[in-house]
Structure 1
Amino acid sequence: MIFLFEKFFSDKTRERTEKIILNLALISFFIHLAVIYLLKFDFIQLPLGADLLENPISAVYTPFSFILIYEVYLLIYYLPKSITTYITKQYEIITLIIIRKLFKDLSSLELSSDWFEIKGDLQFTYDLIGSLLLFYLIFQFQKQGKKKFVPVDLIKPRIDKFVYKKKMIAVVLVPLFFGMALYTLVVWSLGFSLIPNELAPFESVNNLFFDEFFAVLILVDVVLLLISLFYTDQFNKIIRNSGFIISTILIRMSFGVSGAISTILIVAAVLFGLAMITVHNKYEKDMLLEGVKKK
């Protein structure tokens, strides 16, 4: 198991994966752009007018999809290293999903005085404001995640055992997520080629894979919480990790709704996670100060 972990998550593997993904992102962007212009000048014909093939701006959607794949890899990569970094990656992924959707929506905006009466323009507004709020909340979450109040040397033996368990989980997640992504791609491709005129609406396409991805993350978060109970009985850490599960559930729920509710759920999820880690750090700091006073 450790051999597989070193194989999947060594620095060399991470750097190689990053280069491959970035090259694919760049190539996919130019291919998408080329297809759009070939369609525009009638050099090729497709059986349906897909939204992603009508405007050059929407070509940015494809490279962002590859960037999201790399973010999924980084999420698994950081899982054994830090719970807070692992949760941060969850928040970054959902924010990038919104940003990716913004590029598509930007290509089909209807600029008129009836802005707030057009559903597509309203959704663009929600996502634009939501992405800005999420960027700030993630920044604050990262700041809170870097705060350490307990010397690592005092808890290192317990941490090493917990890290080993997390490494095993990470090794399992690699083929699982790869299989899920491959299955989603095959099913969607077959649906596109066999019944193109009944292709799922864009909202569904935007949620492909990541709907199930966050469902799996909920289970992973629960497993991490249960395993952590073997190594700590501190109330603040139990509540913090439980709060992270609730945060992931709220993100997962956002895929089942649309409009402002979806954006609100995502922002609420990250805000809840930030509140949890902030209170946890305050709790840990006060406990440390009390211990110093007693001495």
Structure 2
Amino acid sequence: MYMNLLNKIYQIFLSEFAKRRIEKTILYVALFGFFVHLILIYLSKFSIINILPESELFNDPVSAIYTPFSFILIYEVYLLIYYLPKSFTTYITKQYEIITLIIIRKLFKDLSTIELSSDWFEIKGDLQFTYDILASIILFYLIFQFQKQGMLKSQQQNPNKPKIVRFINRKKIIAVVLVPIFFIMALITLFNWTSGVSFASNVYPSFEIINNLFFDEFFTVLILVDVVLLLISFFYTDKFHKIIRNSGFVVSTILIRMSFGVNGIISTILIVSAVLFGLAIIIIHNKYEKNILSNNVYEK
């Protein structure tokens, strides 16, 4: 009965059908949000309405791209939960993709305020833009390598083992619990942000606060989830390399979370270091797996 209830809830929120439905809904909302944001920018530009004129999000049409990217990030959060029971490596990959998309989203905002001059490397905003664009390229490549290593790892596993099945069921429980948690967090974040904006007095949060909305708390929750997964994994394996892998992923998530507490190049370095550390962990883990398989074949 317990498993039947779990599977029913799982099918409602995290089935393939639910994923397609949510994907389509978010894409429509993203398009709608983009055009609304664009209209507001032009209405403000022609002084038809007076909406946060000093805000960086309303002073250039390029800034309108920020809105659909925010909805894409929401979908990525859903995909992270969706893939959690299916593949731990894909779940970690989604964390890396989310933080990379946050940087890309920030780039679109920065493009609208960039200052083209010979003093490029002396202007703080332009310098940060340079850091972010380089970081996005580096992260893109690191994630590609991480996915390759994840595919190698998945080929070495046998999903039919009873222990693995039990582990997957426990991950399903975590995934089902995360759906309402993140939904409530998103609503609270939206409420707190809107309550902090005053259109009448042009009071609005700084861009750094806007850019970190939801995701600083999001990665805090992910740290707790990673720790829970680490502890649960002890019930199913005592292999050193797997424990180190799972522990390493926790460290990687912590580094990403730390990046929200700082600005500038330090934040960028922490993010790149987090993904690089995760990649190093999975590469070494796979070498352990390959060595174990080779030894087993040799013994036979």
Which category of TM-score, normalised to the shorter sequence, fits these structures?
over 0.9
CA deviation digits over 1:192-230, x for unaligned, max 9?
A: 037854422101110000000000000000000000100
In the other structure, the counterpart of 2:113 is: 108
TM-score, normalised with respect to structure 1: 0.97
Runs of 4+ in 1 over 2 A off after TM superposition: 46-49, 148-151, 193-200
In the other structure, the counterpart of 2:131 is: 126
1:192–1:217: structure 2 CA closer, same or farther, 3 Å change rule? same
CA deviation digits over 1:251-289, x for unaligned, max 9?
A: 000000011110000000000000000000001101110
| 8 A contact 1:48–1:196 mirrored in 2 | no
Work out the CA distance in 2 between the residues paired with 1:288 and 1:282: 10
CA deviation digits over 1:75-109, x for unaligned, max 9?
A: 00000000000000000000000000000001000
Q: Confirm or deny that 1:186 pairs with 2:191.
A: yes
Q: Confirm or deny that 1:50 pairs with 2:55.
A: yes
Cα distance, 1:231 vs structure 2: 0.5
Q: Name which of structure 1's ranges 268-277 and 33-42 shifts more when overlaid on structure 2.
A: 33-42
1:80–1:106: structure 2 CA closer, same or farther, 3 Å change rule? same
1:181–1:151: structure 2 CA closer, same or farther, 3 Å change rule? closer
- 1:234 aligned partner, one-letter code: K
Work out the CA distance in 1 between the residues paired with 2:277 and 2:243: 15
Q: Give unpaired runs (5+ residues) of structure 2.
A: 1-5
Provide the alpha-carbon RMSD of the alignment: 1.3
- 2:137 aligned partner, one-letter code: L
Q: Confirm or deny that 1:5 pairs with 2:48.
A: no
TM-score, normalised with respect to structure 2: 0.95
Work out the CA distance in 2 between the residues paired with 1:195 and 1:157: 61
Work out the CA distance in 2 between the residues paired with 1:87 and 1:185: 26
1:151–1:107: structure 2 CA closer, same or farther, 3 Å change rule? closer
| 8 A contact 2:38–2:61 mirrored in 1 | yes
CA deviation digits over 1:117-146, x for unaligned, max 9?
A: 111101100100000000000000000000
1:47–1:266: structure 2 CA closer, same or farther, 3 Å change rule? closer
SS in 1 for 2:161: helix
SS in 2 for 1:171: helix
Q: 2:158 aligns with which of 152, 175, 195?
A: 152
| 8 A contact 2:198–2:204 mirrored in 1 | no
Cα distance, 1:12 vs structure 2: 1.0
1:151-170 equivalence runs, <5 A: 151-152=157-158, 156-170=161-175
1:1-295 equivalence runs, <5 A: 1-46=6-51, 48-148=53-153, 150-152=156-158, 156-193=161-198, 197-295=202-300
| 8 A contact 1:137–1:271 mirrored in 2 | yes
Cα distance, 1:41 vs structure 2: 1.1
SS in 1 for 2:236: coil
| 8 A contact 1:191–1:199 mirrored in 2 | yes
Work out the CA distance in 1 between the residues paired with 2:220 and 2:210: 17
Q: Give unpaired runs (5+ residues) of structure 1.
A: none
Q: Name which of structure 1's ranges 46-55 and 1-10 shifts more when overlaid on structure 2.
A: 46-55
Q: How many residues align?
A: 294
CA deviation digits over 1:6-51, x for unaligned, max 9?
A: 1101111110100000000011111111111111111112254211
Work out the CA distance in 1 between the residues paired with 2:189 and 2:18: 25
SS in 2 for 1:192: coil
Work out the CA distance in 2 between the residues paired with 1:87 and 1:63: 23
1:151–1:16: structure 2 CA closer, same or farther, 3 Å change rule? closer
Between the two proteins, what is the percent identity of the paired residues?
67
